[in-house]
Structures are given as structure tokens and as C-alpha cells.
Amino acid sequence: MSDDPIDTFRQEAQDLLEQIETGLLDMAHRPGDRDLVDAVFRGLHTLKGSGAMFGFDALAAFTHHCETAFDRVRKGEVPATPELVAAVLAAQDHMRALAEGTDASDAEGEALLARLRKAVDAAAGVTVETACVPGAATWKVRFSLPADALANGTRPLPLLDELRELGDCKVTALTDQVPPLEALVPTECWLGWEVILTTAHPRSAIEDVFIFVIDEMTLEIEALGSAPQVTQDHDAPPEALLAAVTREQAAPAPEAAPEAVEAAEVKTTRVGDTVRVPAERLDELMDRVGELVIAQSRLKQVAVSSNEPQLRAVAEEIERLASELRDTMMVVRMVPVAQLFGRFRRLIHDLARDTGKTIALSTEGEATELDKTVIERLADPLVHLIRNAADHGLETPDERMAAGKP
């Protein structure tokens, strides 16, 4: 990968935008699916935070409005109407332009935000049936940050403030890991926190509070079920939670019950399942494998003309390894056709809106794998085929009904 952090951000932003688009398109068919709403909200929230972190202030400010709209959907204040989904899809194209650094006029952004506000206001007048908020539940949240969190700019107090915004909570500082005062390093964080939170928001809303630090921290979220509600002492200053750091002897935290330990979900650092590699490096590696196969063939000829058994054994072993390496390299460049089909969902959505036609796109064989270069070269021709089919091969609903078609 490139060492330029801006290139890294743009690659990650592209992935986030694709995830957001997929969620929005799914939501057009399942507007009441809470998981889809949460997934789109988390994507927008991550994109906004990452954009601000890498200096893409215009992207962060614009995305903030879309995030706010979906926060209202997530809270059950407005439903995910088709107009709202379409407005966010249109805004998503503007986000992509801002992330890529291409021309994105302020006037266009203001027009998109005006459309978004109009869609939200219209949705606010719709009775929310599928997005109603469930009854309040009580959760026990225990978390601790890595020792270098403070040095890296992570602040625990804003995290606690966000939890307070979700409902009534009681916060307790866990000081069992705090070293004696003479051994304490001021730049290191040894405190943990336990929060008893009563909220009508789902578990995913609690996880969203820690979305930017969740990979480095330890987080346990346990449902307490019918535990009594707790209230928060709003008069106590939040800085009091950090006062325990001055104690030389810290009281140990109570041990959790065995049932709680089994029910708790612990999130720690995880190693990614995939690694993004530029196609140029794969091509270079493929060339080296080809040269290796040629060298192996020469070695085999030398071994056959030789009377050395050991040389023949080594040549046969290298031939086996070179063959396996070549087969592996052929598979590395293969990607599923589903990656290509996914692009057409947005195309169909826009064509249906622009033409006034009801369009259903059916695809088969998504698991079939092709070389990445072939996938890329198939994209434009297939787009033209789909556009022509929608424009010239498909009638309007009235014309189809008059002709006796479904």
C-alpha cells in the first residue's frame, strides 16, 4: 500500500461509501430493518470522524448532516421513507467527490442538503410504525483503554458524556489496575469504568459510542434485564471520576458472577482477515512466478541429464512447489462476479426513478470468480446493456398492463 496517509484514507472512504450505498439500497426494500439503519448510521459516523481526522473538513461537515438525519431514523423519530433514502444516496455521490478531491461545488452541496432537510421534514409527518423504539433496558458496560490512550489523544470523559446522552446511568471508576503513586506515569491510563445504563436505545447504540477506539480497548456489554433503573447525579462533576488516580491504595473491583462472565462480550484487538494490495504488486509477483517456472524447467533438464539422484530429488521438489505457487497466484487475482453485480443495484435504483418504470434486476452466478482485469473491463459494456434494456426494452407500468404483461 501507499505510504501516503491521504491515499489510505481515500481507500477506506471508498469502502465505507460502498457499504453505505449497499445499506441504503437494501433499505429501499426493507425500510423497517433496524440492522440496516444502524449499519448506515455507523458508516456515516465513521466517515465523518475519519474525514475530520485526515483534514477533510468539508467532507466531515457535509456528512454530519446525513448522520444527523439517520440518527433521527435510528431513534425512531422519523421513518426511512423512499424520499429520505434517495436524498442520502444523492448526497453520498457528493461525499465521494469530496473524498476523492474532485470538483464538488458548494452550491451543489447546499442543494443536496436542502433536499435532505425536505425529505426529513416530510418523513417527520409520517406515523412511525416499523421504527418504534422498544422499551427501556438496563445494561452494564465495563471498559478500559490501552495505557497509551491519553498520549494518543483519546479522552475518556467525552465517551462517558456520550453514554449519559443515551439515558440514565451511574458511572463508577475501576481503580484496581492503578499502580502506587510513586510508580504512576501521568501519561498512562490505568483506570477502567463501569456504567450501569438504562436506555431505550439498542446495544448497537452503545457500541457506536466506542466506534473509533473499539479495536484497541477492552469492552464488555452485559444486559441486566429487569435490573432497577438508576439515576445520574448531574451535580457531581465528571472530573471527580478521575480523582481516584491520586490514591496510593485502590480498592479492588468486585468480581463478576460466573453467569455475567459467560454472558459478557469482550472485544479486543483483532487482526484483519484481508489485506489490501495494489494490483501492480500482484502483476509483479506474477511475473516473478513466471520466471521461477522457467528456471525450474531448466533445472529439470539439467537434472534429467545428470546421474545425481539428489539433484533429481531437489528438482522434483522445486517443480512441485513452483506448480503450487503458480496455481495460488492464479487464484489471488480472482474476484467474485458479485463485486460487479453490486454496482448495478444503484444503477437500477436511479433508472427506475428517472424513467418512472418499475424495474427488477435479477442476477445469477454471483459466486463465479473471474480475473480482476476481466471484471473491470466487463463493467462498462454491461452498464450500457442494462441502460438500453431499461430505456428501450421495458415499457411503463401502464403499457405493460395494457399488453397483459406482469
Q: Give the residue with greater pLDDT, 156 vs 242.
A: 156
User: Radius of gyration over alpha carbons of the chain, in Å?
Assistant: 28
Fold of 5-124: Four Helix Bundle (Hemerythrin (Met), subunit A) (1.20.120)
Determine the average pLDDT of the residues in 154-172.
Answer: 84
- Beta partners for residue 335, in sequence order: 370
Q: Could you report the per-residue pLDDT of 348-383, keeping only the tens digit for each?
A: 888 888 888 888 888 888 888 888 888 888 888 998
Q: 152 pLDDT band (50/70/90 cuts)?
A: confident
Q: What is the mean pLDDT of residues 113-121?
A: 87
Average pLDDT of span 28-39: 83
pLDDT at 253: 39
**Which H or E run contains 164?**
helix 156-166
- Decide: pTM greater than 0.85: no
Region 256-268 average pLDDT? 39
Q: CB–CB of 123/84 below 8 Å?
A: yes
**Is the per-residue pLDDT at 103 higher than 50?**
yes
Write down the pLDDT at residue 404.
Answer: 92
Place of cell 483506570: 191
Structural class in CATH, domain 137-267: alpha beta
284 pLDDT above the threshold of 60:
yes
Instruction: Say yes or no to pLDDT of 270 above 80.
Output: no
Average pLDDT over residues 68-82: 84
Residue 320 has pLDDT above 70, yes or no: yes
Position 216 confidence tier, pLDDT thresholds 50, 70, 90: confident
Phi, psi (deg, nearest 5) at residue 356: 75, 15
Q: What percent of the chain has pLDDT over 90?
A: 3
pLDDT band at 125 (very low <50, low <70, confident <90, very high): low
Three-state SS string over 326-347 comes to HHHHHHHCEEECHHHHHHHHHH
Q: Which tops the pLDDT comparison, 201 or 393?
A: 393
Domain residue limits, the chain? 5-124, 137-267, 279-332, 336-402
- For residue 188, the 8-state DSSP code is S
The beta strand positions in 66-191, using DSSP E, are: 137-144, 167-174
Place of cell 447525579: 233
**90-99, pLDDT tens digit by residue?**
888 889 888 8
Residue 104 pLDDT exceeds 90: no
Judge contact between 45 and 64, C-beta under 8 A: no
Helices 372-392 and 338-355: crossing angle in degrees, nearest 10, is 20
Short-list 320, 294, 316, CA closest to 303:
316
The answer on pLDDT for 10 being more than 80 is yes
Cell of 344: 448495478
